[in-house]
Amino acid sequence: MSCSVYVLLLSTLCLMSMAEAAIRHYKWDVKYEYKSPDCFKKLSITINGMAPGPTITAHQGDTVVVEVTNSLVTEGLTIHWHGIRQIGTPWFDGTEAVSQCPIVSGDTFVYKFVVDRAGTYLYHAHYGMQREAGLNGMIIVSVPKGQSEPFVYDFDRSILLTDWYHKSTHEATAGLTSKPFVWIGEPQSLLIQGRGWYNCSLVNAPTSNTGVCNTTNPECSPFSMTVVPGKTYRLRVGSLTSLAALSFEIEEHNMTVVEADGHYVEPFTVKNLFIYSGETYSVLVTANQDPSRNYWATVNVVSRKPSTPTGLAIFNYYPNPPLRHPPTVPTTGPMWNDTEPRLAQSHAIKARKGYIIPPPPTSDRHIILLNTQNKIDGYTKWALNNVSLTFPTTPYLVALKEKRLTYKLPELFDQTPPPDVYDWEHYDIHNIAPNVNATSRNAIYRLDFNTTVDVVLQNANTMNPNNSETHPWHLHGHDFWVLGYGEGKFNPLNDPKKYNLVNPIMKNTVPLHPYGWTALRFRADNPGIWLFHCHIDSHFLMGMGVVFEEGIDKVGELNSSIMGCGLTKNFFRP
């Protein structure tokens, strides 16, 4: 275990003795229900009738128990606790095919894990594209009682940002996995805390075949955040978009960024916050403008040519009516194709003084992952170093941990690891590459336990001319240090010299900007099998991810509840 994890565990233990860790018990029923989050009626996946689902609130050191009943009738289900490292509980990471089998419809699965660090986290379905159907929510972990944070605010609020499609996830999935590939297109709307607005006149009069669109449905009245003039708000903002990179802003109000993915940020002030799927931020906002009116809070798409209208919420000054529209025209946000301010924000995020966890000065292993779009057997895929990720039928965690299965490993998944590097000297990241050698494989990276690993994500041109996309990469089971971002091709000889080893932020999700690179470092100190993947739902479905194994021999005994697929079908011997 790394020093940092030791420190965290120790401090957790200390705090637990101080503040008495609680058990937070949740009982969730997951099913399909019609919802009209943007006025268009669509079958959504709900938790206890809600989409987004209920916010989990806990104090650092608490144990969260979520008893999930899958009532989806024919679909399996898993839920991932995004940002929670699952130290000692890798089987509760909720990653289908990696840490568990899908929960069979009708079954109840109990997730149980410790939230060991204060901060803002997320949860969402991690099976097929179910996240896109609405199964997502936030986890808010407060500092232990009596402990203070390095910034002050009067109230704590949170909003979850998502994008929303009118087609079903089954339709989206069928298109992405068909030959030729059929793209579902851009989202119909952006939702702030599960509420958006769609221009129903774009939909024809309802028939038995079209959904019903009704702009007077109270379900799609905008989210309104009421503020008291003069007060300062800690606003926790999370993004779980399927696709869209976003710019979030509150008209006439500056925001001071103080937290990112559960780590304190050296404060900096922005007019608009860029946020990528899988990220969370806390910003401080003071209600210091003319209190006689309301203000627009807006989200806009960046990095892709936006065909999705601005998402709107109301920043409501008390006692104005919460839904009274501001007198202004909402902003359409920054230029969608201007990467510079996004890169600048990425650079600006540093660990806060006094809260810096120094990274190991050197690394034991260097992995460079070239991100490419490829055709494999006529299917459109994403690949890393020419390997597009597929999954075995028996989850990696079970396949690798169960001694009685290990002799079968070669038939369970490809035992030849994917390459650590690509031919960086000769690959032209600025042009469409032939990419003739890409393959779909379920091989994994096996990391030596307690070593330090560097990963450089290298972006490239897609299969379309002059196009490179933004990919938010998320690592399960860890935070990593963000050592640097660069434009163009990463040079492994020179660029590491520019790494920030002084005050890098730790995060679990980080953007890879178009035609750029992102360098990160982590300690392979959390026994388990961990996914590292692009957090765009469709990209992940198309193979954009890798799997890390570390310390599998140190993983405790697996619970049979995570089994039921592949070679793990048998009756339970109690």
Distances in Å between the Cα of 394 and the Cα atoms of 39, 229, 398, 553 are: 41, 56, 7, 18
The single-letter code of the amino acid at 63 is: T
Work out how close the CB of 200 gets to its own copies at its nearest, in angstroms, rounded to a whole number: 10
Among 74, 216, 292, 416, binds its own copies (CB under 8 A): 74
Start-to-end CA span in the chain (Å): 33
Q: Which stretch binds its own copies (CB under 8 A): 316-324, 333-341, 391-399, 511-519?
A: 391-399
Work out how close the CB of 488 gets to its own copies at its nearest, in angstroms, rounded to a whole number: 37
Extract the tokens encoding 304. 């892709």
Beta carbons of 246 and 268 less than 8 angstroms apart? no
The single-letter code of the amino acid at 421 is: V
Work out how close the CB of 232 gets to its own copies at its nearest, in angstroms, rounded to a whole number: 42
Q: 97: which strand partners?
A: none
Instruction: Identify the CA nearest to 68 among candidates 132, 112, 121.
Output: 112
Instruction: Please say which residue, 48 or 57, places its beta carbon nearer to its own copies.
Output: 48
Dihedrals phi, psi of 199, to nearest 5 degrees: -75, 95
426 binds its own copies (CB under 8 A): no
Among 48, 214, 393, 451, binds its own copies (CB under 8 A): 393
Among 107, 149, 156, 266, binds its own copies (CB under 8 A): 107
Among 17, 210, 415, 464, binds its own copies (CB under 8 A): 210
Instruction: Please say which residue, 17 or 177, places its beta carbon nearer to its own copies.
Output: 177
Instruction: Please say which residue, 416 or 570, places its beta carbon nearer to its own copies.
Output: 570
Tell me, by CB under 8 A, how many residues bind its own copies.
66
177 binds its own copies (CB under 8 A): yes
Beta carbons of 311 and 247 less than 8 angstroms apart? no
168 binds its own copies (CB under 8 A): yes
Among 57, 63, 105, 440, binds its own copies (CB under 8 A): 105
553 binds its own copies (CB under 8 A): no
171 binds its own copies (CB under 8 A): yes
Place of tokens 């692009």: 534
143 binds its own copies (CB under 8 A): no
Sign of CA pseudo-dihedral 190, 303, 371, 364: negative
13 binds its own copies (CB under 8 A): no
Work out how close the CB of 366 gets to its own copies at its nearest, in angstroms, rounded to a whole number: 33
Among 14, 20, 23, 185, binds its own copies (CB under 8 A): 185
405 binds its own copies (CB under 8 A): yes
444 binds its own copies (CB under 8 A): no
Distances in Å between the Cα of 262 and the Cα atoms of 120, 139, 411, 452 are: 5, 11, 40, 21
427 binds its own copies (CB under 8 A): no
Going across the sheet that includes 255-260, the strands are 189-192, 155-164, 232-239, 280-286, 255-260, 263-270
Q: In terms of DSSP bridges, do strands 365-376 and 263-270 run parallel, antiparallel, or are they unpaired?
A: unpaired
Count of CB atoms situated within 10 Å of the CB of 106: 10
573 binds its own copies (CB under 8 A): yes
565 binds its own copies (CB under 8 A): yes
Instruction: Identify the CA nearest to 544 among candidates 470, 485, 489.
Output: 470
167 binds its own copies (CB under 8 A): yes
Work out how close the CB of 316 gets to its own copies at its nearest, in angstroms, rounded to a whole number: 31
Contacts of 524 (CB under 8 A, 6+ apart): 447, 448, 449, 450, 451, 452, 453, 548, 550, 551
Instruction: Please say which residue, 107 or 219, places its beta carbon nearer to its own copies.
Output: 107
Q: Which stretch binds its own copies (CB under 8 A): 13-21, 59-67, 121-129, 420-428?
A: 121-129
User: What does the angle CA 12 – CA 15 – CA 18 come to, to the nearest 5 degrees?
Assistant: 155
The single-letter code of the amino acid at 202 is: L
Q: Coil, strand or helix: which one is 364?
A: coil
Extract the tokens encoding 229. 């003039």
As a whole number of angstroms, the distance between CA 140 and CA 120 comes to 5
For residues 280 to 309, the per-residue mask of contacts with its own copies, x marking binding by CB under 8 A and - elsewhere, is ------------------------------
130 binds its own copies (CB under 8 A): yes
Work out how close the CB of 449 gets to its own copies at its nearest, in angstroms, rounded to a whole number: 23
76 binds its own copies (CB under 8 A): yes
Among 24, 31, 157, 231, binds its own copies (CB under 8 A): 31
244 binds its own copies (CB under 8 A): no
As a whole number of angstroms, the distance between CA 336 and CA 552 comes to 43
The single-letter code of the amino acid at 114 is: V
Which residues of this chain interact with its own copies, rule CB under 8 A? 31-34, 40, 43, 73-77, 97, 101-102, 104-108, 127-130, 166-171, 173-174, 177-178, 185, 188, 202-205, 207-211, 391, 393, 398, 402, 404-405, 408, 560-574
